[in-house]
């Protein structure tokens, strides 16, 4: 089936289902692959605003959960607080939420793994030594129209009946100072858009991370870890917050940095989630030294990304080798600086460093 035929069928399905109502608050993910992923989008290609994305997998896409539960309104005076049931609690700081579980990370790894598999995902990264699980791109099938058209055509052209969006999630487990584990879930989204007025060609572009979708999966993970449905909903809805300080880009010793008016604990946590949400590949981290070891693929505006079928049948050009950097978080009192170091640990002032600093600052705002 050629690309024009596929797009025509997609347009037909979309037109027939335009008047249907989506199910608003359900999650039913279907992974784009059943085994190893074909190829994932390059690290941080989204730094180039005009980059084109070729998303792995078939024609199935993903949709983010629409507005989930309403979060409690933040107050400037309140501090990041926790509400708990048993040995599981949820904390919130700005638009970030995470779980704190009074169990060692090695006892939580398998339950967390099972949680994602039971939710309909497969993994592209499964590294217990780093405490990182990352899912493949997947489609939220509950967001598809549930009408007579879907019931009829969906059975025949199920892979073509698509929302035009995909989601993937990264879960990071970190041991905390009390012997327990902090669990972070971050979301990344892609959306398929037309590239011309004839609407016969599409590309995949990134869309904003969805904090409410992250919260919903944290809540469901709480249930997996022993909290009841009713308790998890109450806890996720009431965790108070504090105002999140703004991030500011500055230059220190001729190198670009991000400056934050907050202590090391908050800065380390926020930078880690920013790296997760923006698609850095984190190879290692050392909290004592305030370092994240990351891989970065520099955007290339002249490189044309092949479409899905080109990648499927080996039509892609040679991959650009990733560069290795260190993201350093340094703090003095309630002030922190985030900078980019090269692989040897020296300050980096290149164009890549400026791009990396900019994307981190944008996510921290």
Going residue by residue through the chain (365 aa), what tens digit of pLDDT does each one get?
555 545 444 444 444 433 333 333 578 887 655 544 433 343 443 443 333 333 443 333 333 333 333 333 333 333 333 456 789 998 888 778 899 999 999 999 999 999 999 999 999 999 999 999 999 999 887 776 655 555 555 555 555 556 788 999 999 999 988 889 999 999 999 998 888 888 888 888 888 889 889 999 999 999 999 999 988 888 877 765 656 677 899 999 999 999 999 999 999 999 999 999 888 888 999 999 999 999 987 665 444 444 443 433 344 445 567 889 999 999 999 999 999 999 999 999 999 999 999 999 998 87
- In angstroms, the CA 330 to CA 252 distance is 13
pLDDT of residue 287: 92
State which of 207, 240, 273 marks the end of a domain: 240
Cβ–Cβ < 8 Å for 207, 188: no
Asked if 236 and 279 sit in the same domain, the reply is no
- Cα–Cα distance, 185 to 98 (Å, whole number): 7
Q: Report the 3 state secondary structure along 225-280.
A: CCCCHHHHHHHHHHCCCCCCCCEEEEEECCEEEEEECCCHHHHHHHHHHHHHHCCC
Task: Calculate the CA dihedral of residues 334, 335, 341, 344 and round it to 10 degrees.
Answer: -50
- Three-state SS at 119: coil
CA-nearest of 172, 130, 136 to 275 is 172
Asked whether residue 350 is domain-assigned, the answer is: yes
Residue 134 β-bridge partners: 125, 170
Closest to 165 (Cα-Cα) out of 139, 134, 141: 139
Please indicate, yes or no, if residue 327 is contained in any of the structural domains.
yes
Number of domains the chain contains = 2
pTM above 0.85, yes or no: no
Tracing tokens 């926020």 back to the chain, one arrives at 270
Amino acid 301: pLDDT: 41
Question: 254: domain range?
Answer: 244-300+320-364
The answer to whether 359 touches 247, Cβ cutoff 8 Å, is: no
Per-residue confidence (pLDDT) for residue 237, from 0 to 100: 77
Domain-embedded: residue 7 = no
Residue 78 belongs to a domain? no
Determine contact, residues 108/173, Cβ cutoff 8 Å: yes
Q: Which residues of 146-184 are buried (b: 16+ CB within 10 A; e: fewer)?
A: beebbeebbeebeebbbbbbbbbbbbbbbeeeeebbbbb
CATH number, position 291: 3.30.310.170
The CA distance from 147 to 22, in Å, is: 9
């Amino acid at each position: 089936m050629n690309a024009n035929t596929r797009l025509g069928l997609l347009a037909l399905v979309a037109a027939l289902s335009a008047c249907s109502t989506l199910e608003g608050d359900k999650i039913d993910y279907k992974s784009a692959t059943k085994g190893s992923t074909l190829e994932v989008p390059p690290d941080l290609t989204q730094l180039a605003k005009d980059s084109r994305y070729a998303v792995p997998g078939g024609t199935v896409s993903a949709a983010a959960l629409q507005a989930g539960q309403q979060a409690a309104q933040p107050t400037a005076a309140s501090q990041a607080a926790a509400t708990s049931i048993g040995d599981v609690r949820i904390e919130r700081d700005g638009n970030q939420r995470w779980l704190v579980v009074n169990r060692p990370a090695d006892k939580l790894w398998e339950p967390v793994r099972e949680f994602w598999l039971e939710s309909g995902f497969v993994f592209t990264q499964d590294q217990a030594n780093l405490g990182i699980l990352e899912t493949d791109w997947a489609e939220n099938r509950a967001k598809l129209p549930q009408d007579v058209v879907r019931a009829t055509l969906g059975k025949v052209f199920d892979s073509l009946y698509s929302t035009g969006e995909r989601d993937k999630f990264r879960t990071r487990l970190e041991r905390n100072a009390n012997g327990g584990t902090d669990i972070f879930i971050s979301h990344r989204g892609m959306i398929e858009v037309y590239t011309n007025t004839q609407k016969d060609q599409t590309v995949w572009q990134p869309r904003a991370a969805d904090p409410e979708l992250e919260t919903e999966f944290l809540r469901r993970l709480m249930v997996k870890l022993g909290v009841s449905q009713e308790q998890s909903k109450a806890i996720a809805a009431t965790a108070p917050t504090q105002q999140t300080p703004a991030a500011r880009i500055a230059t220190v010793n001729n190198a670009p940095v991000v400056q934050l008016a907050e202590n090391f604990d908050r800065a380390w946590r926020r930078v880690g989630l920013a790296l997760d949400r923006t698609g850095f590949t984190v190879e290692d981290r050392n909290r004592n030294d305030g370092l994240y070891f990351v891989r970065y693929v520099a955007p290339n505006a002249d490189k044309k990304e092949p479409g899905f079928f080109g990648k499927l049948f080996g039509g892609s050009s040679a991959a650009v080798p990733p560069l290795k950097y260190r993201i350093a978080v340094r703090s003095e009192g309630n002030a922190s600086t985030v900078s980019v170091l090269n692989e040897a640990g020296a300050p980096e002032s290149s164009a890549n460093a400026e791009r990396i600093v900019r994307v981190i600052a944008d996510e921290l705002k």
